[in-house]
Structures are given as structure tokens and as C-alpha cells.
Structure 1
Amino acid sequence: MKTLKDLVLLGNPLLYKVSSPIKKSELPLVTKWVADLDNVMKEIRMKYNFGRAIAAPQLGIMRRLIYMNIEKPIVFINPEFTYMSDEKMEIWDDCMSFPNLLVKVKRHKKVTIKYLDENWETQKWELKNDLSELLQHEYDHLDGILCTMRAIDLKSFKWR
């Protein structure tokens, strides 16, 4: 079981790599990966008092997998955005891989995401506002993009 000490931190080259799609034959591994993601997210919540979702690359699992748990757990396998609104919003973004730093970014106000669930069934979800921002942040991790790379300007950083 992975723990907080396994979290990939800012500066680690893994955070800048593009993750590979999950193959159907790897579905049995997804259950273990999700358990690891859930465990680390719970530890982050205990230590830092935040954390609604986590991407697999943050634990060195270089696959296109996002785990979100707000009211109930949701697993996003090989997600892709099918719509991103022109309208954007500015927010202070945080990240488990650098938990004490906040970064001001612009994100799309509304998105639609298509993904496979843990039963390998296609799902589609329209998200807006904070959930839209959250999924864009996690999706960026799958492409090796950090919110530090999306900072609005050089003054868009602050300590928590």
C-alpha cells in the first residue's frame, strides 16, 4: 500500500512526463492503484486539510487514471475532454505534490469529460466551476503539466 511518503513532489521529473493509456488487460491493476490513490489522499486530508482528487502520476503510476472522492468515489480511466467552455475563471490552485504553495491560474468554467469507469464502461460528465477546475488540474497531471506552468503571471504564487 502506497503512503504519503510515496507522493511524487515538485521537482521530480516524473511529474513532467505524459502518462500512457490504460489497456483493458490492466483493469485488475486499477483496483490496487485506486486503493493506493485513496490511501494517499486520506493522508493528505489528515495532514494538510485539503484533497478532493488525485492523479496516478502523483504516485509514480504513469497511467491515465484520476481518482476523485468528494461525496462518493469516482474513477476516471483514460479521460478526455470533449468540450471546454470559452468562458474562464481565475482561481488559486493547490496541489498535493506541493501542498504549501498556491498558484493563481485560469481554467475553463465548464467542461465535458468522457472516460471509462472501473467496469470499462464509457461515461460522460458535464462539470462546472470548482469541479471543472478540479478535473482540469488532475487531467493536466496526465499530460505532465503542473499548475505552476499555468500561472497567470510571475506574481501568481503564494504560500498557504
Structure 2
Amino acid sequence: MVLPIHVYGDPILRERAQPVAADSPELQQLLDDMVETMHAASGIGLAAPQVGRRERVFVVDLTPMKEELEAEGETLPPMPMFFINPEIVWTSEEQCSFEEGCLSIPDVREVVERPVAVRIRYLDRQFRPQELEARGMLARVIQHEYDHLEGILFIDRISAFRRQLLRRRLREIARGQVSAEYPLALSRV
């Protein structure tokens, strides 16, 4: 089922997500719904808080970018990927700037600097412990979605000057003055 995506201004996007205690049919359904929602919104990552849930999970699917990424030398693991109770345990010192957007902040894109590589520990969909070292776009998407679980949005990682320039647009989004090609859960602040 495609779930509505919560937008900037919704308090759940600023909360720290809670660890998942055990696998369950409800969790498996949430994961399926998140993948379906991400695909319906033409996204490449989605975290539970973005669909109004507090579970510490996110999904990633870089399939739409596969040819481009492989042409640049990136090798992708099988997609979609499921990250349950993730923990970033290492980040590279080397940084890279890249323009990011977010399904919860429609039509806003900004250049964000992030580490080029990360190592993340997590449980996969079958609740098996995993550790992955990711580079490039996969590392960037993992960090973006992980931030959502910490209550951090990509606009928190841009300069105060750039945030000031976005202030009016963000206020409009928070007031529900926004539309997208996918269902939105609008708050009316």
C-alpha cells in the first residue's frame, strides 16, 4: 500500500526513531509498504518517520540509477535494501558535495557535503546482522536516510545563509502549501 509522506513541519520528522524489538508480520508489511511508497514517489530511499512511523528502519533502492552508477564504477548490492536498527560505525574523512532532495521537502534541492564512505551495521529483512561498507551514492543515500532516524533533515546540513534563503518556502511547506506527484500527509501549522 502506498502511504502518505509526511512533510517538513510535521514533528515526527524531528523525533529520534525507536529500535525495533523483534520481527513481526506488521514490520514486514511496513517494509513492503515503504518500498511501494518509495517507488510510487520515484524516490531512492525512504525512512519510517517519513511515513509517520517511529520504527528505526529505512529502505534504499538505487535501481533507477544503476546504469549511471555502474558507468561511474560503482557496484551495487541487490536492491531494494532494508536497514533495521542501523548504526553508522565509521565515516571517511574524505568529503564530497552533491545536490540532495527529499520526498518530505518537495521541490527543494541543495548541495550537501557528506563523507564519501560509511560503514553501517544493521539487521536485514530476515533480522540477520549485517555490516556494509558503502561508497559513493549508496553511502550518501544511507547517510541521508540514517539522518531521518535521528530527526535530522538534509537542510540541517546546509549553511545558515542557504537555510535563510529557503525560509519562506519551508514555511509554506509546513503550512501545507505544497503538492507532489505522490500522496502527502500535510500538517497545517
Q: TM-score category by the smaller chain?
A: 0.7 to 0.9
Matched residue, 2:103: 96
Aligned partner letter, 1:20? Q
Q: Which of the numbers 20, 24, 33 marks the counterpart of 1:27?
A: 24
TM-score by length of 1: 0.87
Distance 1:152 1:124 in 2: 32
Aligned partner letter, 1:30? L
Task: Give secondary structure in 1 for the equivalent of 2:106.
Answer: coil
Shift of 1:70: 2.5
Distance 2:145 2:36 in 1: 17
Kept in 1, the 8 Å contact 2:17–2:55? The answer is: yes
Q: Per-residue displacement from partner, 1:70-100 (whole Å, max 9, x unpaired)?
A: 2421110000111101111111111000120
Greater shift, 136-145 or 148-157, is seen at 148-157
Aligned partner letter, 1:11? G
Distance 1:34 1:120 in 2: 12
| Superposed CA RMSD | 1.7
Aligned partner letter, 2:114? R
Kept in 2, the 8 Å contact 1:38–1:67? The answer is: yes
Q: How does 1:2-151 map to 2 (within 5 A)?
A: 2-3=2-3, 6-24=4-22, 26-45=23-42, 51-71=43-63, 72-151=79-158
Aligned residues: 151
- Fraction of identical pairs, as percent: 31
Shift of 1:39: 1.8
Task: Give secondary structure in 2 for the equivalent of 1:155.
Answer: helix
Q: Per-residue displacement from partner, 1:20-73 (whole Å, max 9, x unpaired)?
A: 00011x43222111121112112211xxxxx11110110011111011122421
Distance 2:16 2:98 in 1: 25
Larger Cα-atom Rg: 2
TM-score by length of 2: 0.75
Which structure would you say has the larger RCO, counting Cα contacts within 8 Å and 6 or more residues apart?
2
Distance 1:63 1:121 in 2: 17
Structure 1 gap ranges (5+): 46-50
Misfit runs of 4+, over 4 Å: 156-159
Kept in 2, the 8 Å contact 1:105–1:152? The answer is: no
